[in-house]
Chains A and B, each alone.
Chain A
Amino acid sequence: MQAFKTPKQLQAHRKKIIESRPADRKAIAVCAGTGCKAFGSLSVYDVFQKTLKSSGLDKKWELRATGCHGFCERGPLVLMFPSGTLYQKVKPEDVDEIVEQTLVKGKTIKRLTYQDPVTSKWFRREQDIPFYKHQHRLVLKQNGMIDPTSLDDYLTIGGYGGFLKALKMRPAKVIDEVKKSGLRGRGGAGFPTGTKWEICAGTKATQRYVVCNADEGDPGAFMDRSVVEGNPQSIIEGMLIGAYAMGASKGIVYLRQEYPLAVQRLGLALESAREAGLLGKNILGTGFDFDIQINKGGGAFVCGEESALIASVEGRRGVPKRRPPYPAISGLWGKPTNINNVETWATVPLILDRGHKWFSSIGTEGSKGTKIFSLVGKVNNTGLVEVPMGMTLKEIVFGAGGGIPDGKSFKAVQTGGPSGGCLPESKLDTPVDFDTLVQEGSMMGSGGMIVMDESTCMVDVAKYFVGFLKFESCGNCTSCRDGLQRLYELLSDVCEGRASMETLDLIEELAGTIRATSLCALGTTSVNPVLSTLKYFRDEYVAHVKEKRCPAGVCKSLITYTIDEKNCNGCTICAKKCPEQAISGKKKKLHIIDQQRCIKCGICKDVCKYDAVIVA
């Protein structure tokens, strides 16, 4: 790639490349995100490459290995442009047929298209599939369109247009634009981004830093990973705009080491941006110096908390520190440091490019734009969904998510990662925005969304998350470190039938102190799963305590497995599969479970075809 010496040169190159690649050109996008890769999408890509070459179709069809499209459970995904045809669960063996039928003859191969599990309807085009139809994809959409290792691909979809516009403005004007857009941080707390930039820029200093928080420690969340893997240039561009606006000359991306593909893709993207003169000294001849380095995080959840992140980058233990002073005033090595989340940075170029009015027209009064959620759990369609702020939980879970599988009923949805609250059916009409979720006892967090059905025990869920957080607490505060451990013990008492009603009171009392007196937000929000389930699902707690019964049939100490006389036809499968040889019975005769030996693994229930195993 040539090094651009002026904004004009970059602009000219962008124009050339956009003109040379008309929007309706034929292209095949094979998803090479972590999910699809795990399903073998790289082999699919390889076969495409060979087949296109040998058939000479490579002149007509452009082949791209792209970032994550979000619908990971259906991978490997192959998307065709301009038709919008989406093939899912594609295997290398399917490629010949796709080339022959679809590329050459223009025919759709029905079996590779998506069939909705709820309505059994078939869909050819990506945009018509319910999972995508309910979304409003600003940030994620670009993932499917570009090869993340190609700067030219990014330029084709309008990349660096925002930065070029910013360069024409005074830095204060850029900050103003972000402020007016109403963008709030996507990393959890939802702090207004423009205001943070203004504070950082307004603090007198000889050196300022901008940091991209790509620690993403929430279990089950992978939106940040997908953006870094799928569109790393958008983060670089966002950070360039921020650095220009705030007068920072150094940028750091704090990226977890467990994301090797993201580390690699971002590294490549940084190199090509440097080669193109978009990073380094005297960027585009404007006299603006800025470069970005990657700092690999070791994978502690708490290191995503900004003051712990700073400690970690400085080479100290990742322990949060009391704020104020906020990083924007005194951050890395005591210098003003602006920390934003991956998604926040990736949104900034769009705002600069299309204007604050466009951005603030999406979303609600207090929360503008779109937000990516990782929708997982007991829901038909799992994956990454990007929706406008203010969409209701119901629309997300039952629209994009397609509802609850296996005919079961919805019980709760947890938003906001491990320390988010669990909201019941009666709260499904809650619009998803920063403020409403907090009012309801949950939070936006970084965008985890876990759906639970009737087979989920809410006490068990609360215990699970408290278990995660007690392990991930930095251990500084008595309330968080010891409090969470004790809370875990108390919840175990409930799950194992040792608790009394006083236990529930103590749980509430302790949770109150953890929330009120812990230093950082890990501690103060850690009790949301407990307090929200106690509030909305108190009857389940009471059933565990008073009746020693787990209504969902999950808590092992409170359930027994037995075989129903009427349904058992003596097929012997359960006896064969039981790992403890706890089941006995002659062929075609009633089988019996030895309660002493049973470890309640539930395998018998899973394998019985006649619904004869009862959990009670």
Chain B
Amino acid sequence: MTVQFTIDGLEVKAKEGEHLLDVARRHGIDIPSLCHHEAVEPIGACRVCLVEVRSGQKTTITTSCNFLVEDGIEVHTDTAEVRKHRAMNLELLLARAPKSDVVRKLASASGVTRTRFEPLAYEPLPNCILCELCVRTCDMLGHHALTTVGRGDKKRIGLPFNKPSDNCVGCASCLSVCPTQCISVKDTPTQRAIWGQKHDFILCKVCGAPVITKKHRDFAISEKGLPEDYYDTCEKCKQSAASKRFASVVW
């Protein structure tokens, strides 16, 4: 079923079951957010993507990432109330991640350049804003190596039982989605250090560049049924080999 409603006066159509933030972005309306990624289910953690939704007599402030669109609603993305509360949540996050460019940029766009709260960071992930994108992505990829630990003010991102996890294949997808880039991943030409473990790289047979960690290769080949030699050469060398083959056929 389609639903029809307005965002900042613009008439939009969407499918029932869609989330408001996705619909807004599709229509070119930007709503700032930190914990949203289209690849994983929204959880509404950062409380930055606030909007005002008017439905009949009722007006509510809500996060848009996990708000299921409804027919006939009137959405406003930039009211005084929205700005006020968004600024406060960003001020809270700025105290957690004072060094994060993304957080600082969003905060200053909301008029927040300093925070009235004491710094609040935890080791080994200073600047972590507990958006759980790393955990959700790791879960979605089927590894389940990361988890949240504790609750309330003691909540952290970490490894189950605080021990290096056998499930971690060293793919570093967590870092690639981390908005504050606070996860420590250190690569040498042959090894990757991540989450308390070292992973050997498979090196490209042609150029010797790292292709993928051994453990990640084993996981991908068995899970996705790829050919054994799939990761023997790196993407670059694979492409140049292919273009050479292609050239020999055409010319």
What residues make up the interface of A, taking CB atoms closer than 8 Å to B? 300, 302, 317, 319, 321-322, 324-325, 469-479, 481-486, 489, 506, 509-510, 512-513, 516-519
Q: Does B216 contact A (CB under 8 A)?
A: no
Besides the known contacts A485-B120, A517-B50, A517-B89, 17 further A-B residue pairs in the complex with CB atoms under 8 A apart: A325-B68, A469-B152, A471-B151, A473-B153, A475-B130, A477-B44, A478-B45, A478-B92, A481-B152, A481-B153, A482-B96, A482-B120, A483-B88, A483-B92, A484-B153, A517-B85, A519-B63
The answer on a CB contact under 8 Å between A513 and B88 is yes
CB distance from A252 to the nearest CB of B (A): 23
B152 and A471 form a contact (CB under 8 A): yes
Rounded to whole angstroms, the CA-CA distance of A62 and B84 in the bound complex is 67
**Which residues on the B side are within 8 Å of A300 (C-beta)?**
151
B47 contact from A321, A470, A478, Cβ within 8 A: A478
Distance in angstroms between the alpha carbons of A317 and B135 in the assembled complex: 13
Please give me the residue from chain B that is nearest to A506 by CB atom. Answer: B116
Closest residue on chain A to residue B129 by CB atoms: A478
Is the pair B45, A302 in contact by a Cβ cutoff of 8 Å?
Answer: no
Q: Which residue, B68, B85, B96, has most C-beta atoms of chain A within 10 A?
A: B85
CB contact under 8 A between A486 and B117, given known A317-B148, A322-B66: yes
Q: Given the complex of chains A and B, what is the CA–CA distance between A483 and B44 in angstroms?
A: 15
A529 to B230, CA, bound (A): 61
| B219 interface hit (Cβ, 8 Å) | no
Question: Is the pair B151, A477 in contact by a Cβ cutoff of 8 Å?
Answer: no
Residue from A469, A475, A484, A512 in contact with B150 in the complex, judged by beta carbons closer than 8 Å: A475
| A510 to B61 CA separation, bound complex (whole angstroms) | 15
Q: Please provide the chain B residues from 84 to 105 with a CB less than 8 Å away from any CB of chain A in the complex.
A: 84-85, 88-89, 92-93, 95-96
Instruction: Please tell me if the beta carbons of A510 and B47 are within 8 angstroms of each other in the complex.
Output: no
B contact residues, range: 20 to 34
Cβ–Cβ < 8 Å partners of A302 in chain B: 151
Which DSSP category, helix, strand, loop or mixed, fits chain A's interface? helix
**How many Å from the CB of A155 to the closest CB on chain B?**
43
Complex: A240 Cα to B129 Cα, angstroms: 46
Chain A hits for B46, CB < 8 A? 478
Min CB distance, B229 to chain A, in Å?
Answer: 39
- Chain B nearest CB: distance from A356 CB in Å? 30
A478-B35 Cα distance, complex, nearest whole Å: 11
Task: Kindly provide the distance from the CB of B81 to the nearest chain A CB, expressed in whole angstroms.
Answer: 7
- B67–A322 touching, CB < 8 Å: yes
Interchain residue pairs with CB less than 8 A apart (28): A300-B151, A302-B151, A321-B43, A470-B152, A470-B153, A471-B151, A473-B151, A475-B151, A476-B45, A477-B44, A478-B46, A478-B130, A479-B47, A479-B92, A482-B92, A483-B88, A483-B89, A484-B152, A485-B153, A486-B92, A489-B117, A489-B118, A509-B88, A513-B88, A517-B47, A517-B63, A518-B47, A519-B44
| Distance, CA A588 to CA B148, complexed state (A) | 62
A317 surroundings in chain B (CB, below 8 A): 148
Nearest-neighbor residue (CB-CB) of B86 within chain A: A517
B155 at the interface (CB under 8 A from A): yes
Residues of B within 8 A of A (CB): 43-48, 50, 61, 63, 66-68, 81, 84-85, 88-89, 92-93, 95-96, 116-118, 120, 129-130, 148, 150-155
Given known pairs A478-B92, A516-B81, the reply for A473 and B152 (CB within 8 Å) is yes
Chain B residues contacting A477 (CB-CB under 8 Å) are 44-45, 47
**How near does chain A come to B89, taking the closest CB pair, in angstroms?**
5
Residue of B nearest to A468 (CB): B152
A392 to chain B, nearest CB (A): 31
Most B-side CB within 10 Å, residue of A477, A478, A518: A478
| Residues A482 and B93 in contact, CB atoms below 8 Å apart | yes
Look across to chain B and name the residue whose beta carbon is closest to the beta carbon of A302: B151
From residue A132, how far is it (CB to closest CB) to chain B in Å?
A: 39
Q: Which residues of A contact B88 (CB under 8 A)?
A: 479, 483, 509-510, 513
- Chain A residues in 8 Å Cβ range of B92: 478-479, 482-483, 486
**Which of A325, A474, A478, A509 makes the CB contact (< 8 A) with B151?**
A474
Measured CB to CB, the nearest residue on chain A to B17 is: A325
In angstroms, Cα B152 to Cα A517, docked, is 16
For the complex, give the distance between the alpha carbons of A509 and B48 in Å: 16
CB distance from A203 to the nearest CB of B (A): 16
What's the Cα separation between A510 and B155 when bound, in Å?
Answer: 20
Q: Is the CB of A474 within 8 A of B152?
A: yes
Q: Is the CB of B153 within 8 A of A513?
A: no
**A472 proximity list for chain B (CB < 8 A):** 151-152
Known pairs A513-B88, A517-B89, A519-B44; A481 contacts B117 (CB<8 A)? no
Interface hub of A471, A481, A489, A506 (most chain B Cβ within 10 A): A481
Q: Contact at A481–B130, with CB atoms within 8 Å?
A: yes
B residues in contact with A474, CB < 8 Å: 151-152, 155
Query: Cβ of A324: which chain B residues have Cβ within 8 Å of it?
Result: 68
Contact of B43 among A476, A489, A517 (CB under 8 A): A476
- Distance (whole angstroms) from the CB of B214 to the closest CB of chain A: 31
* B44 with A322: CB separation less than 8 A: yes
Residue of A at shortest CB range from B67?
A322
The 7 closest A-B pairs by CB, nearest first: A475-B155, A513-B88, A482-B92, A473-B152, A485-B153, A322-B66, A478-B47
Q: For A478, list chain B residues within 8 Å (CB).
A: 45-48, 89, 92-93, 129-130
A484 to B153, CA, bound (A): 8
Residue of B81, B95, B152 with most chain A CB atoms under a 10 A cut-off: B152
Q: Cα distance A519–B64 when bound, in Å? A: 12
From A325, A506, A516, contact of B61 by CB (8 A): A516
* Set B44, B116, B129: member contacting A476, Cβ < 8 A: B44
Once bound together, how far apart are the Cα atoms of A486 and B91, in whole Å? 11
Closest B residue to A489 by CB, please name it. B118
A494 to chain B, nearest CB (A): 15
Taken together as a complex, chains A and B put the C-alpha atoms of A524 and B93 apart, in Å, by 19
Residues of B within 8 A of A509 (CB): 88
Chain A residue at minimal CB-CB distance from B65 = A322
Contact between B148 and A475 (Cβ–Cβ < 8 Å)? Answer: yes
Neighbouring A residues of B61 by C-beta, 8 Å: 516-517
Q: Which residues of A contact B47 (CB under 8 A)?
A: 477-479, 517-519
Tell me the minimal C-beta distance from A108 to chain B in angstroms. 53
The residue in chain B whose Cβ has the minimal distance to the Cβ of A522 is B152
CA distance A484 to B44 in the complex (A): 17
Measured in the bound complex, the distance between the Cα atoms of B152 and A249 in whole Å is 36
Chain A nearest CB from B4 CB (Å) reads 19
Task: Give chain B residues whose Cβ lies under 8 Å from the Cβ of A483.
Answer: 88-89, 92
Q: Once the chains are docked, how many angstroms separate the CA of A317 from the CA of B155?
A: 12
Residues of B within 8 A of A325 (CB): 68
Contact of B95 among A471, A482, A519 (CB under 8 A): A482
Neighbouring A residues of B44 by C-beta, 8 Å: 322, 476-477, 519
- Bound Cα distance A482, B47 (Å): 11
Q: Which residue of chain A lies nearest to B35 when distances are taken between CB atoms in the complex?
A: A478
A474 to B48, CA, bound (A): 18
Find chain A residues with CB under 8 A from B155 CB. Answer: 474-475, 481
In the bound complex, how far is the Cα of B130 from the Cα of A482, in angstroms?
10
B119 to chain A, nearest CB (A): 12
The answer to whether A471 and B45 touch (CB under 8 A), given A322-B66, A482-B92, is no
CA distance A325 to B67 in the complex (A): 10
Shortest CB distance B182–A (Å): 16
Shortest beta-carbon distance from A379 to chain B in Å: 30
Nearest Cβ on chain A to B138's Cβ, whole angstroms: 15
Residue in B95, B116, B150 whose Cβ sees the most chain A Cβ within 10 Å: B116
